[in-house]
Structure 1
């Protein structure tokens, strides 16, 4: 028999229904819905069946009980939980509160909380998270802030973050990433630049970037690429030149 087949509490002791405050008063069942059980699914089911009891378990010694109770408790009881020791409790409280309560969690010590906060905040409230020490927090923020705020990311140490910036920056700022060390960042720039500006990328080290120039750039740039060392770039440029004279 495994642990999951046994009714054990969070201290690994056998669940004793006779000592439970809810014994005989709540809808519950061993191995199915039990607030004393160590397994989150059974605790969750207990509060699904008995949401009115959640307020009484917000200070339970087991963090799983507190975290799940926070999903059902009255909202006015949740703000103090933003200071809880366990990150799951903090987030389950924050996700139900108005956005302004999430502001204090922008610097939460746990990255998972900050990632989730970044999915809720918007605009200027989200902007400080573009400097978060965790790259994934910055990545989530980069997808959600207004494009004009993305200039701070053009020198981000993570290429994936810079690629998001390249995909969303206002067009007038794209050339700031034209010399980025990451090929995929530069390709994103090339795909979004107006055709007349692509001439500046005709000597790029990446054939993918040069291919974009050959496909969309000014005719003079395409002519230069007709002798490109990459056969696909050269062929594309040559076809454009032939189409121009036919």
Structure 2
């Protein structure tokens, strides 16, 4: 959708005739221009330019048959007219209305039928308002909630059914809760936990089935607890453990430097 497209057609695919347009008089003042700024054009960028130049006309277009026109008009129309657009059949229109309205009016969009609306609504809400969305049916909605909500509320999402959500939880949850996640069925989640655990607690993951977790343990666990990892089944884990153990012995003078 760029201005390189050398055509001027409306949303039905018909050629635009400026002579019959109610806004024809705006062209002389630069308020509209064919193939550049036109409310009838099927390209959103050109519609957007039209309303940027003529925001006062937006109220007349919030009920237009073409959803692109309604959606872009919603960016400029009177706030008093926007609540009705929360029931618009198109999700883009609903979102553009919601982003300008008070939160008390848009809370019901937490249950919008379209996931994209629910995802975007997350950015408008505070912690208490986001809590009902922690159990949204769409994993990506829950993922966005996990990224935004206060860490103190993330214990409520420890058992989310989607590993990607739990990984975000492990990366942000208060450290006091990390031990609850050391037995997570997903290795990526356990790795995120290992990366945040203090060295004195890493021994809980020393026998983890995933070599990446054991490698993280070998790289940070107290050297006095590293001995068995020097014989790990994975070569990289072995090398890390032996390198750290050797370094400790050299510092203690047990081996020549």
Give the TM-score taking structure 2 as reference length.
0.88
Partner of 1:57: 61
Distance 1:125 1:182 in 2: 29
Report the secondary structure of 2:141's partner residue: helix
Partner of 2:22: 21
How many residues are treated as equivalent by the alignment? 244
Partner of 2:255: none
Kept in 1, the 8 Å contact 2:157–2:169? The answer is yes
Partner of 1:86: 90
Distance 1:174 1:131 in 2: 21
Alignment of 1:145-160 (within 5 A): 145-160=149-164
CA apart distance, 1:229 = 1.6
Partner of 2:124: 120
Deviation string, structure 1 residues 116-160 (Cα, Å, up to 9, x no partner): 111221211112211111111111110010112212322222211
Distance 1:217 1:94 in 2: 49
Alignment of 1:210-229 (within 5 A): 210-229=214-233
**Structure 2 residue 210 is matched with structure 1 residue 206:** yes
Q: Which runs of 5 or more residues in structure 2 are unaligned?
A: 253-257
CA apart distance, 1:29 = 1.9
Of 134-143 and 32-41, deviating more is 32-41
Distance 1:210 1:133 in 2: 34
**Structure 2 residue 130 is matched with structure 1 residue 130:** no
Provide the aligned C-alpha RMSD in A: 1.9
Q: Which runs of 5 or more residues in structure 1 are unaligned?
A: none
CA apart distance, 1:239 = 2.9
Of 35, 39, 42, the residue aligned with 2:43 is 39
